[in-house]
A and B are shown apart, each in its own frame.
Chain A
Amino acid sequence: MTTPTRTPYRSRLHPARAGFGRLLHAEWTKFRTVRAWPVVLGVAVVAVVLVCRLGASGSSTSGGGPVTLGPGGERVVDVFRFTHRPLTGDGSVTVRVTGLRSADGKGIEPWAKAGVIVKQNLDEGSRYAAVVATPAHGIRMQWNFTHDTAGSASDIATTPHWLRLTRSGQHLTGYESADGRTWSKIEDVRLPGLPRTVQVGLLAATPAHNNVHRAFSGTSETYGGGTVTATYDRLALRGDSTATAWKSTDVGGPGPNGPAPNGPAPQDAQPGRTDVSPSGTYTLTGRGDIAPALDGPDMVQMSFQGVFVGVLFMVALGTLFVTGEYKRGLIRTTFTATPARLKVLAAKTTVIAAVTFTTGLLATAVGFSLAQRVLRHNGFAPPEFPDLSLLENPALRAVVGSAALLSLVAVLALGVAAVLRNSAGTIATVVALVILPQILSFAFPLPAAQWLLRVTPAAAFAIQQGVTRYPQVKVNCLPESGCYPLSPWNGFAVLAAYAAAALLLAAWRLRRRDA
């Protein structure tokens, strides 16, 4: 070397450790100093709120018919043929179910019911516990509408089966037996509020047949018919009863004033029948159901129509936060300042997630509250549509979940952007993943539509569902009715998995490729 070596220069600045907190600070500064980005966030909030409110104003109801509320305050269906006697104090009812078949010429519904029941009184919605046999779901013990415990899978279409329900104070215990000698317990439940004298007896019920016709122009769901005949023998009541004879009642109808059994009441609803043969065979013909009512509109979900619009803004933000750097080579400056590229990815993800979640939460909370006010004004009022508190589930889960959904969509876009390094391609990809399945699901055949809403990030919109789904009620999960096939959190997990996969792919590419 011909050049003389000099004393090397040393930086006069203190060597500050470039920790992750500093990296977050740097990325946050980047985000807020491009004026368009905070502005987009603000516009997104306004758009989400407005569309939530406008979407809600498109829905109205005249209030509908009378509503049956269960002991928990939820809407229920409580319509069935009841052959009963009063029971005072402790006791039990035992019977052998010898058959359950359709009485209307069509197939039998999987959740048709024949069995024994202990009920607070003859009013709709009153407390009860029942042990029933079903055509497709075996023996069940059900109580107070929302609870359901499976017993054996015995099929009473082929083999008669014994059922027993005993009362001991507030405790009701269900048993079943194949032969009437060996009994197995299904469940022991406590029913507080049960009076000393209750009605016990036999029941027959079936949900109405339900047909769905889907076409491009629209979807029609029809409910009709639905009558079953249940046969019993060896009926035995133990305990004190003030009546010596069995009486029969159609709980909840039938007739023009009867409420709908999980759907509009059929026009041709016939009264139930109970025939008793001299040999002690009881034949009950009836319709209806004893279950939570799931046919009503989802007031929670109806309040979140603006979130779709919000998704578009979040996709744009998540994308531009990354591609804006690639487009101009700024990413090299970023990686020069922080050679640990995965930390940069983590910092960017954290900043975009926090920013979009916070603003998303503001938007969904305000949007939901405004939409609820509008819905209330449009006839969705208690008691049929109880008030929803923002701070209680399902509204709380839907509000926070929708904000998290918006945030995850932004993270998904960020991850895809770091892989593709191109705005147009990223936005097209993410919109195709999140929004397109919704649109296609309206047009596709039901199985394909439901599949789409299971496997794409669109599944996450399930987080907005306010209606609790119960396995003991068959529902046609129609996309056009806002039904998502996955449960709220499972649906949300699908989106989270996509976002995580995009980030992993981005991390892999960042490490491998030159900047």
Chain B
Amino acid sequence: MSDATIEVLDLRKRFGRTLAVDGLSFRVEPGTVTGFVGPNGAGKSTTMRALLGLDAPDEGAALIGGRPYHALRTPLLEVGALLDAAALHPARRGRDHLRWLAHSHGLPAGRVDEVLQQVGMETAARRRAGGYSLGMRQRLGLAAALLGDPPVLLLDEPVNGLDPEGIQWMRTLLRTLAAEGRAVLVSSHLMSELEDTADHLVVIGRGRLIADTAVSDLLAAASGDRVRLRTDARTQAMELLTAQGATVAVTGRDTLTVTGLQARRIVELLNAADVPFAEVGAHRATLEEAYMELTRDAVEFTASAGIDEVAS
């Protein structure tokens, strides 16, 4: 069993009547950033808490490097975690927060300064945490996760609250950390946050695995046979194309996404019917769309799907 893996094996966790995680299994390999995606309440945080030994699984296992968390002798050197950036005592300085963590593992004082520098918090860490912005808390939380220089990182919604510059910084940092051979699991309820960051995706809904796939495969599949059509005569085009057996979705004021017909055939049909159009092109799916595609069938997501679908 390699050291730097995260494994969730048939994990089940119930809170009262709610089944928060229902037979979830996945594996995170070293050297990748794995996005852990699902809407709020899908079971992401519960899974992460189980991995960190905070919640005891009802069934199954959540393992770090093949071992349950409580079996780790120096956990900070093996797993870095950012669960809740707000988990700071407001009267304690950021630096002191890292110092007690360092003391618990006998880490040298210089290590605190190193990670503060790494997250750009050298100055702010001298202030009390009560006055931090959400972005500062995220950076301090990341510093805490990096303190033990661990090969595994578990980050729950780390870009939440960061400004665009901060998001860019975080992306670069996560990719760098993974490039060093670490296994990085990053949860998010917004797929767009993982664009250009994640190599791999674990998508869950209602505590169950929906997809466990490489990002490149997912995008290729999602782009698939979809065609993007720009036209001012939206209604006409929709009627025409659905009559030919296509599925047409309105994706913008003058934009339609057509599934089930080749681009060339669409152009022929539109020309034949004299329907004006500005552009027809192969659709390049965004990660967000791919995610929607994935979760479209899951009942619980239809309400929040965000795309008006026109039945064929």
Contact = CB atoms under 8 A, between A and B. Distances in A.
Contacts of A393: none
A17 interface: yes
Contact of A22 (B89, B93, B105): B105
B103 A339 contact: no
Most buried by A among B70, B86, B104: B104
A11 B149 contact: yes
Given A6-B181, A330-B87, A11 B150 contact: yes
A242 interface: no
B32 interface: yes
Contacts of B107: 13, 16
Contacts of A338: 75, 104
A219 B275 CA distance: 105
A216 interface: no
A23 B151 contact: no
Nearest to A31: B100
Interface string A228-240: 0000000000000
A328 B105 contact: no
Interface range for A: 35 or more
Contacts of A329: 83-84, 86-87
Interface in B72-97: 72-79, 81, 83-84, 86-93, 96-97
A34 interface: yes
Nearest to B128: A35
Nearest to A10: B151
A335 B101 contact: no
Interface in B145-175: 148-151
A6 B30 contact: yes
Contacts of A514: 49, 54-56
A26 interface: yes
Given A13-B111, A328-B87, A337-B76, A26 B101 contact: yes
Nearest to B69: A339
Contacts of A324: 89
Given A26-B101, A332-B54, A337-B101, A5 B87 contact: no
B306 interface: no
B217 interface: yes
Contact of B54 (A11, A25, A336): A336
A17 B73 contact: yes
A442 B93 CA distance: 47
Interface in B104-163: 104-107, 111, 144, 148-151
Chain A interface mostly helix, strand, loop or mixed?
loop
Nearest to A22: B106
A515 B54 CA distance: 5
Given A9-B151, A18-B73, A335 B54 contact: yes
A449 B55 CA distance: 46
A328 B151 contact: no
Nearest to B145: A336
A18 B150 contact: no
B29 A337 contact: no
Nearest to A1: B29
B75 A339 contact: yes
Given A18-B73, A514-B54, A5 B31 contact: yes
Most buried by B among A15, A325, A329, A337: A337
Contacts of B75: 18, 336-339
Contact of B29 (A6, A10, A25, A27): A6
A495 to B, nearest CB: 29
Contacts of A330: 87-89
A33 B72 contact: no
B199 interface: yes
Given A13-B77, A333-B144, A18 B105 contact: yes
B53 interface: yes
Contacts of B106: 16-19, 22
B96 A9 contact: no
Contacts of A17: 73-74, 106
A17 B77 CA distance: 10
Given A18-B105, A26-B100, A332-B87, A13 B30 contact: no
A11 B181 contact: no
B214 A340 contact: no
B99 interface: yes
Given A3-B214, A336-B81, A33 B73 contact: no
A6 B105 contact: no
Contact of A23 (B76, B97, B104): B104
B77 A33 contact: no
B150 A332 contact: no
B2 interface: yes
Most buried by A among B3, B89, B93: B89
A27 B101 CA distance: 9
Most buried by B among A4, A36, A514: A514
B127 to A, nearest CB: 13
A11 B78 contact: yes
Given A33-B100, A337-B76, A13 B149 contact: yes
B17 to A, nearest CB: 16
Contacts of A333: 83, 87, 101, 144
B238 interface: no
A8 B104 contact: no
A30 B100 contact: yes
Given A18-B73, A30-B92, 6 more contacts: A3-B200, A22-B106, A330-B88, A332-B52, A336-B53, A336-B76
19 contacts: A3-B200, A4-B31, A5-B30, A6-B29, A8-B151, A13-B149, A16-B77, A17-B74, A18-B105, A26-B100, A33-B93, A33-B100, A324-B89, A328-B86, A328-B90, A329-B84, A330-B88, A339-B53, A339-B70
Which 9 A/B pairs are nearest by Cβ-Cβ distance? A6-B31, A8-B4, A33-B96, A9-B181, A26-B104, A16-B106, A329-B87, A9-B151, A29-B100
